[in-house]
Amino acid sequence: MALDTIYHVNTPEGVSLRLSPAGPIPRMLAWSIDIIIRTAIYLVLITFLTFFGKTGMGIFLILLFLIEWFYPVYYELLKNGQTPGKKAFGLYVTMENASPITPASSIIRNLLRFVDFLPLFYGFAFISMLITPRFQRLGDLVASTVVLHKPLEYPTIDMQAVAPVTPSVSLNLGEQQALIRFLQRTPYLTAERAEELAQLTYPLVEDKTNATRKLLGIASWIMGNRG
């Protein structure tokens, strides 16, 4: 049985998406940030509205209800499924098929938070996340939503900025593949380390000055950039 929680979804366009559901810990941390933000808003409101007596308190209770229940809905629908807390931890809410969350699903998943909160401090939600393969709380299950990790953005090299270089010696398939892998890994290396590795390819790089640039140029040439 697979130990990870990755699942795949095929879009109508025929693209296979690899999705990573967020577990209880990052969701709890994101929720904590949102709680702090809402609490700060409440403190500001009650400090200001206290001056208006009972009328101010009535307005405060109305705003308290609206913010508590529709704060997440606003961010989920208008901010790409990310409340400030979720954004801080690279999380976002979406439908199970990875499509943007719908207004109905957002309202349902958030109104059901009162059930998830039971019996104390989101006990039902925690249990539900532990026993479901995609870490869904009860509100997620009813609304067919899931909280996912944002895909990592890996650094890449701008191939347009790499001038192709014709290799001075014949290269076999394994050597060509090694040069392409070097090109792919270079963004993760320091300039010094990349240069050190590039200089090890003698006699491919005879001049050790700007060895990295020449090696990347050869890799670009191998990948078909003959411009």
CA distance 202 to 130: 55
Most confident range (mean pLDDT) of 8-17, 31-40, 192-201 is 31-40
Tokens of 17: 């998406």
49's torsion region: left (phi>0), alpha (psi -120 to 50) or beta?
A: alpha
Burial of 157 (0-12, 13-18, 19+ CB in 10 A): middle
pLDDT at 149: 93
Q: What is the CA radius of gyration of the chain?
A: 26
Give the mean pLDDT of the chain: 88
Q: How far is CA 100 from the centre of its chain?
A: 14
Buried b (16+ CB within 10 A) or exposed e, 51-82: eeeeeeeeebeeeeeebeeebbbebbbeeebb
CA distance 176 to 218: 9
Q: What is the pLDDT of residues 105-138, one digit of tens each?
A: 999 999 999 999 998 888 999 999 999 999 999 9
Whose CA is closest to 157, among 132, 191, 127?
A: 191
Mean pLDDT computed over 186-197: 84
Beta bridge partners of 19: 7
Q: What is the 3-state secondary structure (H, E, C) of 25-74?
A: HHHHHHHHHHHHHHHHHHHHHHHHHHHHHHHHHHHHHHHHHHHHHHHHHH
Residue 193 has pLDDT above 70, yes or no: yes
Tokens 């308290």 sit on residue = 64
pLDDT at 142: 96
Residue 2 has pLDDT above 60, yes or no: no
Residue 167 has pLDDT above 70, yes or no: yes
Residue 1 has pLDDT above 50, yes or no: no
Q: What is the pLDDT of residues 41-97, one digit of tens each?
A: 999 999 999 999 999 999 999 999 999 999 999 999 999 999 999 999 999 999 999
CA distance 197 to 188: 13
Tokens of 189: 């290396």
State the DSSP H helix or E strand holding residue 148, giving kind and residue range, or none if neither.
strand 145-149
CA distance 40 to 50: 15
Extents of the domains making up the chain: 7-149, 159-222
CA distance 9 to 102: 18
